[in-house]
Each structure stands twice: as structure tokens, then as C-alpha cells.
Amino acid sequence: MEPKLTDLTPPQGFERLVLAEAPEAGLRALICIHSTALGPAAGGCRMWPYAGDAEAVQDVTRLARGMTYKNAMAGLGLGGGKSVIIGDARRDKTPAMMRAFGQAVEALAGSYYTAEDVGISTADMAEAASRTRYAVGLTGGAHGSGDPSPWTAEGVFRCLRVGAARVFGSEDLAGRRVLVQGLGHVGLSLAEKLHGAGAELVVADINQAAVQDARQRLGAASCAPDEIFAPQVDIFAPCALGGVLTEGSAAQLSARLVCGAANNQLATPAVAETLRKRGITYLPDYVVNAGGIISVASEIHRKDDRWRRDRLAGIAERIAEMLARAEAEGRTTTDIADSMVERMLARSRNAKPQHAQA
């Protein structure tokens, strides 16, 4: 049976918010399209046990808007969108649910491309892709770009080096103490790279098995998930969920550099200024974590590995420019990044609408 799609009123400035329901497959999902000004919307699908629809709407809209900024900044010829499935990925997810989700994405007729995010694996995306042409991040096939997470981790790692060069005077991470929050697809890969570069790790995850693994294999120290601001560290790498940097946590943070994969790390935009005033360099999440969507975009646009690698290299170059400008102009890096994207979007609004080719 086709899932039932209901258009909800989207927040101002958003294009579309759709509730997709297929009770027989256990699916209750929200798909949000923030903007297609620069191309079809693209952004991952997250599965999370939200307390209710309101919490899910808040998350999917924030994430979809973030994708518009991320995709614009990375020059991918894609707009911004995101989807969330309400439920516990470890307990509730089934192949039938993912197929029903794929049908919902197909019904949007290419205005939204989906891929993996928190709680969703390449195997889940393959199930969705059996029902839609607009599921990417697939393994195999002529154009499959595979799991985006290693690309995200590599982009974050490179930016972290650029940030370290500016903050500590050297990109060498040997002996630097780095706290990695979240040891999932991206966080674990990042922790492995940091370990390889000689960094001292402190890790935190709600999943104790992941923490034990990092302690044993990577010689990491660990702390409780609700004590991540207690250890003295040089660098904080948030790789769990959003909203970790609040006015309160920004005041407690010992790190001088923040660079991680999580989307929407700042609970409110004002936290960026609090961090700046404390002399903490924050690398905007949607700039540093674009590696995964770059990989996914190569699949959407049918581009080769060289295209993907060139764009990945562009992330760290952009961060270096932003850091130099932030220092010269006495502004936050988020302010600089946001104003760059807003100029791009304004230019596209003034021009005749067209879906740019990457």
C-alpha cells in the first residue's frame, strides 16, 4: 500500500513539509524541503525516537535549512532538505518501513534526494532505493557512492588540522588532547584518524560497547556522556546530535578549537559570539561536515571520483579562508559563512530560477 502523504504548513521561508504515514509498515516520517533555489533538495534521513511530532518537526526543519546552507557552500548545485523517521532505529526499523519510506520519497518526484544519516545504514538506503530513484549513498551499481560517513570524517579531519594550525600554530596533532563526542559512523572514523595522527583521545557515547572498543583499540580515555565539558582538552569534536553548544556549555568548554561532524552544534546563533569572546575557534558545522553530501552529490550528478576528491579538498581551503577573514574582520566564522551563503541565495532569487548543474 502507498504511504499517505499529508502536506503540513511549513515554517515561513520553507518550501514544503510533508508527513508520510504507512501504519502497516510502522512508518511515520517527516520530509522537509527548505529550498530548491539552487537545485533539487538533498539531505539525509535520520531515524530517532522523538518524544512527539513537534520535536520531530523542529529537528527536520532545522536540519533541512542547514542542508541548504551546506549544499550551497559546497557548490553542489543542490538545494536543502531532510527527512526524519520517528522511532528507535535499533528496535523499530524494518525493511518494510524503509521501502515505505522509499515510496514516500518517490512520490515527491525528484524534488528531494535522500541518503543516510543518524540511525540509517547503507543497507537501509538500499531498501528505500528499491522503491525510489531518489535514494543515494548506495553501495555498488554503476554510480553508487557508498557510505557517505568516511567522506564526512575525512573532511572534518582535514579541517581540524587547518584549525589546529591557526589556533596552536601547527597542524601536527601529536599529543593534542581531543574529545570526540559520539562514536558512530563518523565519530569512530574520525577518532581512528586522530589516533593515527598521534592525538590523545577522550571519548563519550551513550553506547558503552562503542566506548569500550575505542578504549581498547585506540587507547582512548572516556567520560560519561553528561560530563563532556569536564575534561581538560585542546579540541572538542562533536559527532553526536545537535544543540551541544549552549551558552552554559560554551562557558564551561576548556577546548580552544571546536570542529566536529554533528549538524546544528550551536543551540542558538548567539553562542558563536560567546565562543569567539572566550577565544574559542568554532569551525561552522555545515562547512566542515560537507564531505558526505559531496560524496552523495557525485552519485546524483553521476560524477567521477576525481570530482568528489576535488570538492572534498575544497572544504579545508574554504575553512582556511574563513578563519583568516574572521580574524581580520573580528567576526565569527558562522557570521562569515552564513553571509556567503545568503549572498548566493539572494543572487539565485534575483536571477531567473534555474537548477544549476554542478
Binding site for ligand NAD (CB under 6 A): 116-119, 148-149, 152, 181-187, 204-207, 210, 225, 239-241, 261-263, 289, 292
Q: How far apart are CA 185 and CA 43, in angstroms?
A: 16
Q: Which is nearer to ligand NAD, 107 or 194 (CB)?
A: 194
- Which residue number has the CB closest to ligand NAD? 184
Least Å distance, CB 140 to ligand NAD, is 18
Instruction: Single out the residue of 45, 24, 6 nearest to residue 100, CA to CA.
Output: 24
Residue whose grid cell is 552519485: 299
C-alpha cell at 77: 548545485
Nearer to ligand NAD, 185 or 308 (CB): 185
Query: What radius of gyration do the chain's Cα atoms show?
Result: 19
Shortest distance (Å) from residue 9 CB to ligand NAD = 25
Annotated binding-site residues for NAD(+) read: 182-187
Closer of 17 and 67 to ligand NAD (Cβ): 67
Which CB, 36 or 265, lies closer to ligand NAD? 265
Annotated binding site: 182-187
Minimum gap (Å) between residue 234 Cβ and ligand NAD:
19
Minimum separation from the CB atom of position 212 to ligand NAD (A): 13
Q: Rounded distance, CA 307 to CA 132, Å?
A: 25
By annotation, the residues acting in catalysis are 82
For residue 296, the surrounding DSSP H or E stretch is: helix 291-300
CB 46 within 8 A of CB 87: no
